[in-house]
Amino acid sequence: MGQTLADLPLRDDLRDQEPYGAPQLDVAVRLNVNENPYPPSEAVVADIARSVAEAARGLNRYPDREALELRRALATYLGHGLTANNVWAANGSNEVMLQILQAFGGPGRVAMSFEPTYSMYPEYARDTNTTWLTVPRSDDFTIDPERAVREIVHHKPSVVFLASPNNPTGTSLPLEVIERICAVAPGMVVVDEAYAEFRREGTPSALTLLPSYPRLVVTRTMSKAFALAGGRLGYLAADPAVVDALRIVRLPYHLSAVSQAVALAALRHADELLARVDELRARRDQTVSWLRGLGLEAIDSDANFVLFGRFEDRHAVWKGLLDRGVLIRETGPDGWLRVSIGTFEEMTAFRAALREVLAL
Ligand code: PMP
């Protein structure tokens, strides 16, 4: 007893590592992890509860290992002529992407992305013993296709992660850039579209490229636009052979009967759950304009958050907001902060608190 982590035979590369995660603090206004601020309606809650009760009657049995009904429903939601054979689901897109590296990464292989980007990617790489390489984005947080092609040809990554819209910048990738990358990448190209439903008009999904690039994978999640972060349901669309590869590394029965039932119920209410996406997009664009009106920089966003700055001491601004009951995220390049788009009331509280902190 009384042992600490340091006493355990932990892998050398995990020593001194911290568990990933933003602070889960009990404050009034939480705008730090890009959640959807709207809880499901009572009608949706009732359908989820009924579905879980039904699933509960069979909990002595293992769930459908292939989650076929759910994959069929997700394929229907995505459209683009996709079927269940093109779709794979797991506990959050986090698990989907870990499985991608379990199948396609590993010792002696390289995974690559373009920074700043989602900070979990290097953790999937670490956990699967995949070498992690990053290439900087341009000053405006776009990806320079010439440079991307050069680096990919040079390093021959087994997996390239392209977040579009990107976290924490909100920047979408033009399809031409994705195509340039797919054309030279020797391995898998993963376009992480966790925030796809929040894109502005005229920024199409990489789903349209799937028929042309058999090694392209598009990941999605029900955590954001679907307002189902607590349900933990992520998925991908790809060629059926890619799904077969992931079925080799997945744990048997990785997706519980309860998770499958909850996701299926939520999908039956897709229209209602997605109904507030337009409102959030409009509020996001207003937030960008408002921040610029204060004389700050704010990056145009295709997601449900905005990266803004720059501050000499961003931690002081973050802390000042927290002291006023508003929790945002201290992430991204130094000097920048990220705010998720909440309800009208939450954004009003954010604005008031930020004005106070900046003495404006
Ligand atoms: N990709 C990106 C870019 C994200 O920002 C997030 C969540 N913050 C995820 C994937 C993972 O989401 P989940 O595991 O909830 O599907």
* Ligand 1, atom nearest to 222 Cα: 16
CA 228–ligand 1 middle distance (angstroms): 12
Whose alpha carbon is nearest atom 2 of ligand 1? 194
> In whole angstroms, how far apart are CA 191 and each of 44, 90, 160, 238, 357?
30, 17, 8, 11, 37
Predicted pLDDT of residue 24: 85
Distance of CA 115 to the CA centre of its chain: 15
DSSP secondary structure, 95-111, as one string: HHHHHHHHHH--TT-EE
Q: Which H, E and C letters describe 35-58, residue by residue?
A: CCCCCCCHHHHHHHHHHHHHHHCC
The verdict on the CB of residue 118 being under 6 Å from ligand 1 is yes
Q: Which residues sit opposite 190 in a β-bridge?
A: 161, 217
The verdict on the CB of residue 92 being under 6 Å from ligand 1 is yes
Q: Tell which one of 74, 88, 91, 93 to mutate to probe ligand 1, the residue whose CB is within 8 A of the most ligand atoms.
A: 93
- Segment-wise mean pLDDT, segments of 10 residues, the chain, 360 residues: 90 91 88 96 95 98 97 98 98 98 98 97 97 97 98 98 98 97 98 97 94 98 96 98 98 97 96 93 98 98 98 98 97 97 98 96
Predicted pLDDT of residue 329: 97
Whose alpha carbon is nearest atom 6 of ligand 1? 194
Predicted pLDDT of residue 292: 98
CA 243–ligand 1 middle distance (angstroms): 20
The amino acid at 28: A
Q: Dihedral angle at the C-alpha atoms of 120, 347, 220, 103, nearest 10 degrees?
A: 10
CA 183–ligand 1 middle distance (angstroms): 26
Name residues whose C-beta falls within 8 Å of residue 15's C-beta, 6 or more positions apart in sequence: 6
Predicted pLDDT of residue 253: 96
Predicted pLDDT of residue 23: 80
Predicted pLDDT of residue 250: 97
* Ligand 1, atom nearest to 232 Cα: 15
- Predicted complex ipTM: 0.99
Q: Tell which one of 113, 167, 235, 304 to mutate to probe ligand 1, the residue whose CB is within 8 A of the most ligand atoms.
A: 167
Q: Which residues sit opposite 110 in a β-bridge?
A: 131
Domains and CATH numbers, the chain: 21-38+276-357 (3.90.1150.10), 42-269 (3.40.640.10)
